[in-house]
Amino acid sequence: MTASDDVRTARRRYLVVGCAVPVALTLVAVALMLAWLPEMPATVATHWSSTGEPDAFASAWTVPVGTAVLGLGLTALFATIMLTGTRDGHWGPMMRLLGAASLATTVLVTVGMTWSFGLQRGLADPHDAPGIGLPMLVALLLGVVAGAAGWYAQPNVTTGARATRTIEPLRLAPGERAVWVSTTTMSRAAMVAIVASIVALALGTVVVAATGSPAWWVMLGVTVLLVLLAATTFVFRVRVDDRGLTVASAAGVPRFGVALDDVASAAVTTVNPTADFGGWGVRLVPNGSFGIVLRAGEALQVTRRDGRRFTVTVDDAATAAALLEALSSRVRGARN
Amino acid sequence: MLIRVDPASETPIFAQVAASVRADAAAGRLRAGDKLPSAREVAASLGVNLHTVLRAYQSLREEGLVDMRRGRGAVVTEAVEPLAQLHHDVATLVARAKELGLSPDTLAALVKETYR
């Protein structure tokens, strides 16, 4: 089978696991809720406090509508990420994870919402709604099981490897010392998207705070955390010297790298952020591959001695790889 | 950018650092506005004295290739553009000189003589 056949199979499986099944589940859940509607009180509990008491209520019809919007919306969101990220025929383990996550979240949402809705059939007063600890626990477990099943129902296809090219070591005189330094910056489009979503979250925090809900401080915490993450992951300094590869945020921390004696090989590769790493930023992929992915395109890929990979998107990666090869072969020569 | 120094070479270390930056500029790897790595970072990576690197940056500043500003470090100036434009011609000339068995010093002397 050729690579593109593999990708077609993987994509078809994704569409079953991450789209068709979630959509079917959502439709079944909504149909069930609509059938129950005549038995429901006019308003139902939609939210429970941490002590198990219902603390928020809404008209009964909003629950099936909300389930439909949430179930179909999440599926569409995941599918859009997959379809736009793999337009160029790339596929990777993050796509497999995305399909499994799509199924898992839909199972969690539909089971949780349908069960908590069904519990309230025949109630006169929604304040008497029973606690939903058990339904939520079961929904969570089913979500995890569905996610695992969705993962194994999809084939393991990775197309990234074909773009990698090995590099001749840089010619260094014995005793010659060298350093390669570069700066890598988040692509403007990704930066705009991240800043926009943080602004949206900040606005949401203000709105929630204005309604007097105590949830606002959690949202504030998340907003501050995201601002910190964004500020420290937009620009990285990349350095290759006789200590190995160092990738440090322009802010100083965080700092990543591969020690010289842990370098097995260095190469140049082409990164597709969505297919290879599931997005932008500091990324860990299920297969153990670690990436600092700030844009699509040229990247330095270092393979460690245990086979795990460290990738950073950076210009002039060929020079960096050549120097790293030269320095690490020197260390290997000294060891043997 | 790549900076390399060979302690066994007769060329002083500071001149080798400066030559590396110049070579990067000539190869088009440096653009006007790019920041050179801090002298301290380069010195630590190469295992040379901080003042050696600062001296190299100082000589690049005298050539007008970089601008040194307090707090901003060494920034590449517009002067790199002509260097990058000559890159291809120089590469061709060097390849031809190698074919003919000319030493780098002879070639440099020839170029200097012709320029006068």
A143 with A172, same domain: the answer is: no
ipTM, 2 decimals?
0.79
pTM listed for this prediction? 0.70
A21 with A78, same domain: the answer is: yes
Q: Quick one: tokens of B80?
A: 């790199």
A213 with A287, same domain: the answer is: no
Residues A287-331: pLDDT tens digits?
A: 788 999 999 889 999 999 998 999 999 998 999 999 999 999 888
A130 with A238, same domain: the answer is: no
Q: Quick one: tokens of B27?
A: 């190869």
Burial of A140 (0-12, 13-18, 19+ CB in 10 A): middle
Confidence of residue A53 (pLDDT cuts 50, 70, 90): confident
**CATH code of the domain covering residue A246:** 2.30.29.30
A207 with A87, same domain: the answer is: no
Q: Residue A175: which residues within 8 A CB-CB, separation 6 or more? A: B6, B7, B8
**CATH code of the domain covering residue B61:** 1.10.10.10
User: Bridge partners of A299?
Assistant: A269, A313
Distance in Å from the first CA to the final CA of chain A: 41
CB contact under 8 A, B45 and A182: no
A239 with A220, same domain: the answer is: no
CB contact under 8 A, B46 and A183: no
Of the candidates A170, A175, A237, the beta carbon closest to that of B7 is on A175
A101 with A137, same domain: the answer is: yes
Q: Quick one: tokens of A211?
A: 């309604």
Of the candidates B7, B8, B45, the beta carbon closest to that of A179 is on B45
Of the candidates A173, A178, A316, the beta carbon closest to that of B3 is on A178
Distance of CA B112 to the CA centre of its chain: 17
Measured distance CA(B19)–CA(B14) in Å, rounded: 9
CB contact under 8 A, B46 and A316: no
Measured distance CA(B17)–CA(B54) in Å, rounded: 10
Quote the minimal CA–CA distance from A174 to chain B in Å: 8
A243 with A205, same domain: the answer is: no
Confidence of residue A272 (pLDDT cuts 50, 70, 90): confident
Q: Quick one: tokens of A273?
A: 């952020």
CB B81 within 8 A of CB B21: no
Total structural domains in chain B? 1
B61 part of a folded domain = yes
A125 with A8, same domain: the answer is: yes
Total structural domains in chain A? 3
For residue A180, list chain B residues with Cβ-Cβ distance below 8 A. Answer: 1-3
Distances (CA, A) of A62 to A26, A28, A93: 15, 16, 37
B93 part of a folded domain = no
Residues A167-189: pLDDT tens digits?
A: 888 888 888 999 999 999 998 88
Measured distance CA(B27)–CA(B45) in Å, rounded: 22
Residues A103-134: pLDDT tens digits?
A: 999 999 999 999 999 989 888 888 888 888 88
Q: What is the span of the domain harbouring residue A285?
A: 162-186+234-335
Q: What is the span of the domain harbouring residue B28?
A: 13-83
